[in-house]
Structure formats: structure tokens, C-alpha cells
Amino acid sequence: MKQTLPQELHRSLTADVPFISPKFFYDDIGSHLFDVITLLEEYYPTRTEQWIMDANRAAIAKAVGDCDVLLDLGAGNCAKASQLFNSIKPKQYRALDISKEYLEAAVADLQKQFPYIAMRAEAIDLSLPLAFPDIAERRKIFFFPGSSIGNYDPEKADQFFANLAQECHGNGGLLIGVDLVKDHETLNLAYNDPLGVTAAFNLNILLNVNRITGSHFNLHDWEHYAFFNESQSRIEMHLRARSDVTVSLPGDGTKERAIAFKAGDLIHTENSYKYTEDGFTEKLRRAGFGNLQTWTDPKKHFLVCFANANK
């Protein structure tokens, strides 16, 4: 039986190691806060990925080839995909993300700028299997920028890639950006910016949980905590209890429960895995992609890759 969002949150928050899925970051406020994060000097992934895309625009368009439908996974404000329209020239564009109102507003604005491209906004949970039966025979290009794949544990990433390869039906491909392993100082600063925007983004997830479940998390009881876990090759983001606190979690088909946290206890909110180029491209090949082409920046901080689905 499919869980409701309140049931999913009740289960994760009462687990032996409490956690909240990063998909719950992206309510309307969280989506706007992430847009601000991408503008920060410390947050190198967005500008580095954009540099790679700009520097290799013609080569990327040639690699992609014909595009019947551009499917923008985790579209957000749609800005990254829209910069591809003039080079890739998709006939249709589908923006896929979890925040319905934010997404629809972005697509409505974009449609005015590109009236000749058929567009659709779809509220969708990217943690669930994807299926597009109405465009099964169309040549689909999946676009997944920003190293969002880093939020997936390695096994989940394998399943995600296999799902996309299957949905291509041997005709189409994946254009993806991924963050690479680098010095720890650069990594840690990107997730602990001095302005505290990432901290606000992390804390806001509790306000979204309150709205969804009726819980009463108080932001003053929690603080942002992020670090690079070298053994797992990932940035971890947590919320850390500032003092002993008890939170009431109303039930939704489950029993209401009071959760006690001691000072220093953590709620795990996000992983962001960092890859080597060889390790990442091997994952794509195992999932059913081939004919890979890659582009990177001079410092090799970030990788953009296009992979065709094998027939």
C-alpha cells in the first residue's frame, strides 16, 4: 500500500536513526532558498556546471541529437533547461518536480518566452519509479543537472538509472551533471556558507514537516550541521538538537507519538555523494547506457555527461 506523505514522515522520524527525505526540502520557501544557494560564491556546482555547458554548447547539442521531448528532472525554476532550448531545440518540454505551485508558475512564465515549444508541468516524486507511456515512442532526453543524483544512495542511483534507460526504449538518452571528489575545504564550505542560507534551507524542512504532519518542531531547538564523510565519499547534512527536546508527531493512520531528542541528537536530512569520473560513467554503463561523452572544467570539480540508451 502506498504511503501518504504524513505516514512516510512518521515512519522516517521514528526510525532508529531519524531522517527526513531531501524531497521535503522543496516546498515553496525551500525552492526559493535553493535558488539563492546557487548564487553563493561558495556554492561552486551551479556556476561550474553552467561554465561547462556554455563552453561545450555545440558539442553537447551534437551529442544529444534530435530531441522530441526534453524531460527536466527536478526542474525547479526551469532556468537550466531553458538555456538548452536554442541549441537542443526540443519539440516538447516537461518540467518535473515535487513543488506543484512553484513549478507551474515557472513553466507559465517560460511558455511566454518559448511559445513554439509544447510545455507541461508535472508534480512528481523522483524517488518513485518513473513512467511515461503517452510518449513511449518519442525520442526522450532526460535532463538531470546540478548533481541532484548525489542525493541518491549508490544502490538507489543504480535503480534510478536503470529506470531511465528502460523509459528511453532504446531511443533517447540522459544529459546529467555530477559533482566530483575534490579537496575537503571546498566541499565543506559549499554546504556551510557564511551567510547561513544553506542553514536556513536545512531548517526550513522542519516547517514543511509541521505543515504536512501537524507536528510542532521549533526551529530554535535545532541547528544546521554538515560535513564531508570521506569513507562514504559524501557530504552529509543533519539537523542537530541544541538541547533536550520532545516533539509531538500526530498520526495519519498511525498512532500519535512523542519523540524525545537529547542535546546533540541528529536528524539526517541529506546525502550528497561525490564521484570520480570513471566510477560514475561505469554506473551508467551498468544501467544500460552507452556511447558516453563527458565534459569537465579545468579544475575537474564537476562533470557533465551525455549517455545514449542502448538498444
Q: Give the pLDDT band (50/70/90) at residue 273.
A: very high
* 102 pLDDT above the threshold of 90: no
- Mean pLDDT for the chain overall: 95
Beta bridge mates, 228: 235
Please count the other Cβ atoms lying within 10 Å of the Cβ belonging to residue 63: 20
* 204 pLDDT above the threshold of 90: yes
* 276 pLDDT above the threshold of 70: yes
Question: What local confidence, expressed as pLDDT, does residue 260 receive?
Answer: 96
- Lookup: cell for 230: 570521506
Q: Within the chain, where are the H helices?
A: 5-13, 28-37, 44-55, 57-64, 79-82, 85-88, 100-113, 154-168, 184-190, 197-213, 277-287
For residue range 243-262, list pLDDT tens digits in order.
Answer: 999 999 886 666 778 999 99
User: Per-residue DSSP letters for 229-294?
Assistant: EGGGTEEEEEEEESS-EEEEE--SSS--EEEEE-TT-EEEEEEEE-B-HHHHHHHHHHHTEEEEEE
CA distance 49 to 303: 7
Question: What local confidence, expressed as pLDDT, does residue 165 receive?
Answer: 96
For residue range 33-61, list pLDDT tens digits in order.
Answer: 999 999 999 999 999 999 999 999 999 99
* 2 pLDDT above the threshold of 80: no
Rounded mean pLDDT of 80-108?
A: 93
C-beta separation of 121 from 104 below 8 A: yes
Where is pLDDT greater, at 140 or 5?
140
The CATH number that domain 44-183+275-309 falls under is 3.40.50.150
- Lookup: cell for 65: 541529437
Q: Give the pLDDT band (50/70/90) at residue 1.
A: low
List the domain boundaries for the chain.
44-183+275-309
Residue 276 neighbours by CB under 8 Å, 6+ apart:
180, 181
CA distance 230 to 233: 5
